[in-house]
Amino acid sequence: MKMSSEGVSDVQSYEPNQYICGGVASVVNVMVTFPINKVMFRQQVHGIRLYKAIGQLRLEGRVNMFRGLLPPLLQRTATVSLMFGTYSNFHRIIEETLPSLPYLPSHILAAVGAGTTEAILTPFERIQVALQVTKHHDWLQNTFHATRVIGSYGVRELYRGFSIVLLRNGPSNCVFLGLRDPLQRSLPQWESEVGDTANAFLSGAGLGAVLSTAFFPLNVVKNRMMMDVGGRFPGIWETLQVTLKERDYRWRKMFRGVHMNYTRSFLSWGIINAVYELLKKHFPWHQYYEWTS
């Protein structure tokens, strides 16, 4: 393990910070972007245009606007925390175990490992989707009631859509974690914290917007897989075929909601990356940890 001049492990001293900073950054992000995400979700599930999705939410009233907030707040906080923290842990373990392994394969293994760990939290995403579906409004009362109802069908029901979450997490983590720092360094460098934070926002926002657009059809299928409670468990391919059939086999309709999606993702990942870097830089507790190699 490489050591700093103060005798503190360069990697280990940051690992606890990365979990906490990632989690706090995600809380800020979810609170800001949840309404946008809800509009996009309606477009994905029903294949409707933006104005119709907004109209649905207006008719349902303000009380229902933040219905389903708790699951993504818990899920995204834990997910982003795990993404940054477990990636760091996995990368350190791989470097110690296989010191001769080049950076690229070690990065891929660490990113896939982090993505797989995140998938454990699929039930949060599952409950969020069920709560946001209009037909469940009179049935599933709130997050805790929905968890109890869905959980009564068994653990498998809580993990409906797990396969597509795994398929999404690994590749997206590889690209985001691998490119965010190089992209940030390629931007004009400023001699101020505001400039550095702006660069962190832009690098995270750009990557988030591109990745979320590229994976958008996968998320459409994921939401369709997760929206039902009970019954059969159709696979990824079957769900894709059903969704395409409902949309007259026009692939362009699979991107309904993509404008809201990349707007939300631009803001979301920009906020996460900027707040994460800002907190990591000023996080006060690492000075109290004493590490040995």
pLDDT tens for 251-274 read 888 998 888 788 888 999 999 999
Tell me how far CA of residue 120 lies from CA of 139, 166, 269, in angstroms. Answer: 26, 9, 21
Nearest to 269 by CA among 50, 28, 39, 74: 28
Q: What is the pLDDT of residue 136?
A: 86
Q: Say which amino acid occupies 165.
A: V
Nearest to 211 by CA among 115, 276, 292, 279: 115
pLDDT tens for 156-198 read 999 999 999 999 998 999 999 888 888 988 998 888 888 889 9
Place of tokens 């988030």: 208
Mean pLDDT of 142-149: 90
Q: How far, in Å, CA of 216 to CA of 261, rounded?
A: 8
Domains with residue ranges and CATH for the chain: 12-283 (1.50.40.10)
Flag whether pLDDT at 7 surpasses 50.
no
204: which residues sit within 8 A by CB, 6+ positions away?
A: 180, 269, 270, 271, 272, 273, 274
> How is residue 90 written in tokens?
């996995």
Q: Say which amino acid occupies 225.
A: M
DSSP state of 102: -
Q: Say which amino acid occupies 224.
A: R
Q: pTM of the prediction?
A: 0.75
DSSP state of 133: S
The string of DSSP codes covering 217-262 is HHHHHHHHHHS--SS----HHHHHHHHHHHTTT-GGGGGTTHHHHH
pLDDT tens for 76-102 read 898 899 898 899 889 889 989 999 999
